[in-house]
């Protein structure tokens, strides 16, 4: 694989990422479906017109057909009623199909937009949301919006048309009797409003409690070995039960309130129907109203009440959907700080790249003190530089600044003489082979994991990378070899095997800069030594930066940088640091004592 091919593929990836710019609001996602919504609206107008015709036709059949004993009129009007019913059925089926298509497509687009948005986050932005919360937003919250959209498009959008149309038709049948609506409709609206007004805060609380249950569950699954090792099963069960009971309590309280909604609507509907029959019968007796008109009026009253009931269902589901929409919008509205600049610069092509850290400062957002202060060093192609320091000294943070997983607070990081902030992040990261502190493998096969950064790598390339990473022997002994399955996170391999596979993954990509973030910690000393020896020829044209806890891993590096509380305490070779840097001497002494005790 040549450097030209690598740059071409990386440019293609960057262009693809720009072409698939994702929306940053729900409004933007929904806008392309407005033409379909218009088609649906036309279908629903036709459906509503057919529904509103039927009671009037029924009255005509009763008054001019049945009471007048005019059989041909009954068949003629009955045929019109049948045609109206068929048209209503066809338009209703078409409307449901269109609404389902819109809702499912919008749900798909929201999930995709959320996924791409999270993929574009820096580590600082990612830390603003918990992982269980992001999963809930991409699953449960999207499902809530889909359910609401289906209901809105299939029922709630047609409800006002039927409601207002039925009110007009009812007035045409008998204006005096229509005055009953001035009492029943406000009573219904007030009743439903009182019930639903108390549910909105409960829905918001419930979504947060779902996040909490997911967080506890994820933590317990990830930490299962530690829980069992410390015999904390009962404590963790109680912790989950507490979170689960809180969610159940809120859901039950919400359910009890929502259960009052339908009986209230039905009660008002029944009382209105009784009042219509009562007063309508009097008007029929007085000769002021035909029998058919009363039947039609009752049908229109039912249509009005059903429209109000459907509208109340909107208020029943809207609070939870509204909460979900806010949670989704909170993710989509985050503008990634780390993105390609307006003017992209490139380092020289087809040449090895140097790395330079220039007076770098870094502090996490909201933190009172800097994690790194005035860090400066350079790394030329073919050089290996080690970084060592106590826990919390800023070693991994420094590594994360190089591929722009974070941006520096002050100073600069340059690769090939170009500030990393002036490069396209995708192209930048293609030049870097990062082996993270926590070895992570994706579900699939060994081959698919090794090709994660080198899609066109041949099997021979993969075996070569495995050999350098001291992983060839155990992979060859697997039944399926390169096609051996990998569980999520690589949990079907030991810690040392996962580390070697992640090292092989970086080697297969053949980057120009290697970053090893404490990537040898799970290896025994003999394997560590063989791997570092094999790495030498493989990385002779690349700049290599190794973060390590073991002195033995770093002592043969060209230079070692000692970090102490975010500052450089010393730079030099092993022997020089032993003479000049007390912090390094203490690390060596502590490891020597530990090895002696073992």
pLDDT given at position 120: 78
The pair of three-digit structure tokens given for residue 315, joined into one six-digit string = 């208020």
234 within some domain: no
265 or 383, which is more confident?
A: 383
Q: What is the mean pLDDT of residues 554-567?
A: 85
Helix, strand, coil proportions of the chain in percent (round to 5)? 65, 10, 25
- Domain boundary (301, 332, 363) is at 332
Lowest mean pLDDT among 307-311, 419-423, 564-568: 307-311
Whether the CB-CB separation of 305 and 265 falls below 8 Å is answered with yes
Q: Residue 231's pLDDT band (boundaries 50, 70, 90)? A: low
Q: Residue 47: how many CB atoms within 10 A of its CB?
A: 22
The 10 Å CB-count burial string (b at 16+, else e) for 92-118 is bebbbebbeebbebbbebbbebbeebb
346 within some domain: no
pLDDT over 70 at 398, yes or no: yes
pLDDT given at position 22: 67
Q: Residue 331's pLDDT band (boundaries 50, 70, 90)? A: confident
Q: 456-474: per-residue pLDDT in tens?
A: 888 888 898 888 888 888 8
228 within some domain: no
- Domain boundary (332, 357, 381) is at 332
pLDDT given at position 18: 42
Residues 36 and 171 in one domain: yes
387 within some domain: no
pLDDT given at position 166: 84
pLDDT given at position 476: 87
CATH number for 494: 3.40.50.300
527 within some domain: no
CATH number for 320: 1.20.1560.10
d(CA 101, CA 95): 10
Q: What is the mean pLDDT of residues 534-554?
A: 84
- Domain boundary (332, 355, 386) is at 332
pTM of the model: 0.68
pLDDT over 60 at 61, yes or no: yes
pLDDT given at position 306: 79
Average model confidence (pLDDT) for the chain?
81
pLDDT given at position 6: 40
Domain around 153: 22-210+255-332
Which of 312, 329, 333 is closest to 141 using CA atoms? Answer: 329
pLDDT over 50 at 115, yes or no: yes
pLDDT over 70 at 319, yes or no: yes
Q: Cα–Cα distances in Å, from 57 out to 34, 77, 160, 302, 447?
A: 35, 7, 22, 16, 71
Q: Residue 315's pLDDT band (boundaries 50, 70, 90)? A: low
Q: 251-299: per-residue pLDDT in tens?
A: 888 888 777 777 777 787 778 878 878 887 777 777 777 777 788 888 8
423 within some domain: no
pLDDT over 80 at 225, yes or no: no
pLDDT over 70 at 3, yes or no: no
Please count the structural domains in the chain. Answer: 2
140 within some domain: yes
pLDDT over 60 at 122, yes or no: yes
Q: What is the mean pLDDT of residues 359-386?
A: 85
Q: 479-518: per-residue pLDDT in tens?
A: 888 888 888 887 888 888 888 898 888 888 888 889 988 8
Q: Cα–Cα distances in Å, from 455 out to 203, 442, 504?
A: 45, 15, 14
pLDDT over 60 at 596, yes or no: no
Q: Is 246 helix (H, G, I), strand (E, B) or coil?
A: helix
104 within some domain: yes
Q: Cα–Cα distances in Å, from 219 out to 126, 427, 448?
A: 18, 35, 28
Residues 317 and 451 in one domain: no
pLDDT given at position 58: 82
pLDDT over 60 at 43, yes or no: yes
Q: What is the mean pLDDT of residues 53-68?
A: 80
pLDDT over 70 at 546, yes or no: yes
Q: What is the mean pLDDT of residues 540-564?
A: 85
């Amino acid at each position: 694989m040549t450097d030209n091919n690598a740059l071409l593929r990386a440019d293609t990836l960057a262009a693809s990422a720009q072409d698939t710019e994702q929306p940053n609001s729900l409004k933007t996602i929904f806008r392309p479906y407005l033409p379909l919504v218009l088609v649906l609206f036309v279908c629903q107008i036709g459906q509503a017109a057919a529904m509103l015709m039927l009671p009037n036709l029924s009255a005509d059949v009763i008054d001019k057909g049945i009471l007048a004993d005019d059989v041909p009129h009954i068949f003629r009007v009955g045929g019109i009623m049948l045609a109206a019913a068929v048209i209503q059925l066809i338009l209703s089926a078409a409307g449901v199909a269109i609404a389902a298509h819109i809702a499912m497509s919008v749900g798909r687009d929201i999930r995709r937009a959320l996924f791409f948005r999270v993929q574009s986050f820096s580590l600082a932005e990612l830390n603003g949301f918990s992982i269980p919360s992001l999963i809930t937003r991409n699953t449960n919250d999207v499902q809530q919006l889909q359910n609401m959209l289906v209901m809105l498009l299939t029922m709630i959008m047609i409800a006002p048309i039927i409601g207002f149309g039925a009110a007009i038709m009812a007035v045409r049948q008998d204006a005096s009797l229509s005055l009953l609506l001035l009492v029943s409709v406000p009573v219904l609206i007030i009743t439903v409003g009182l019930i639903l007004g108390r549910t909105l805060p409960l829905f918001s609380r419930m979504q947060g409690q779902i996040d909490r249950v997911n967080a506890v569950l994820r933590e317990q699954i990830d930490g299962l070995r530690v829980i069992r090792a410390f015999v904390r099963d009962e404590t963790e069960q109680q912790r989950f039960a507490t979170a689960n009971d809180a969610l159940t309590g809120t859901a039950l309280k919400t359910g009890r309130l929502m259960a009052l909604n339908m009986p209230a609507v039905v009660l008002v509907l029944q009382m209105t129907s009784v009042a219509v029959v009562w007063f309508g019968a009097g008007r029929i007796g007085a000769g002021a109203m035909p029998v058919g008109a009363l039947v039609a009026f009752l049908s229109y009253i039912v249509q009005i009440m059903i429209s109000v009931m459907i509208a109340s269902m909107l208020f029943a589901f809207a609070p939870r959907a509204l909460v979900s929409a806010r949670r989704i919008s909170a993710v989509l509205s985050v503008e990634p700080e780390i993105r390609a600049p307006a003017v992209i610069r490139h380092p020289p092509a087809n040449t090895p790249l140097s790395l330079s850290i220039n007076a770098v400062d870094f502090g996490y957002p909201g933190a009172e003190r800097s994690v790194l202060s005035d860090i400066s060093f350079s790394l030329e192609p073919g050089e290996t530089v080690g970084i060592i320091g106590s826990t919390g000294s800023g070693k991994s943070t420094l590594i994360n600044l190089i591929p722009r997983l974070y941006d520096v607070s002050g100073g600069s990081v340059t690769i090939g003489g170009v500030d990393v902030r002036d490069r396209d992040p995708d192209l930048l990261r293609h030049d870097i082979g990062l082996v993270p502190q926590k070895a992570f493998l994706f579900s699939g096969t060994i081959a698919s994991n090794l090709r994660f950064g080198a899609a066109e790598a041949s099997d021979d390339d993969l075996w070569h990378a495995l050999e350098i990473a001291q992983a060839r022997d155990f992979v060859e002994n697997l039944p399926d070899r390169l096609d051996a399955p990998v569980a999520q996170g690589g949990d079907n391999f030991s810690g040392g095997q996962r580390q070697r596979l992640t090292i092989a993954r970086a080697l297969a990509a053949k980057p120009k800069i290697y970053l090893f973030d404490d990537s040898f910690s799970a290896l025994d000393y003999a394997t560590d030594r063989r791997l570092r020896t094999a790495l030498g020829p493989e990385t002779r044209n690349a700049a290599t930066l190794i973060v390590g806890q073991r002195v033995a891993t770093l002592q043969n590096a060209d230079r070692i940088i000692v970090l102490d509380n975010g500052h450089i305490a010393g730079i030099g070779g092993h022997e020089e640091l032993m003479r000049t840097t007390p912090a390094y001497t203490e690390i060596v002494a502590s490891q020597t004592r530990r090895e002696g005790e073992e």
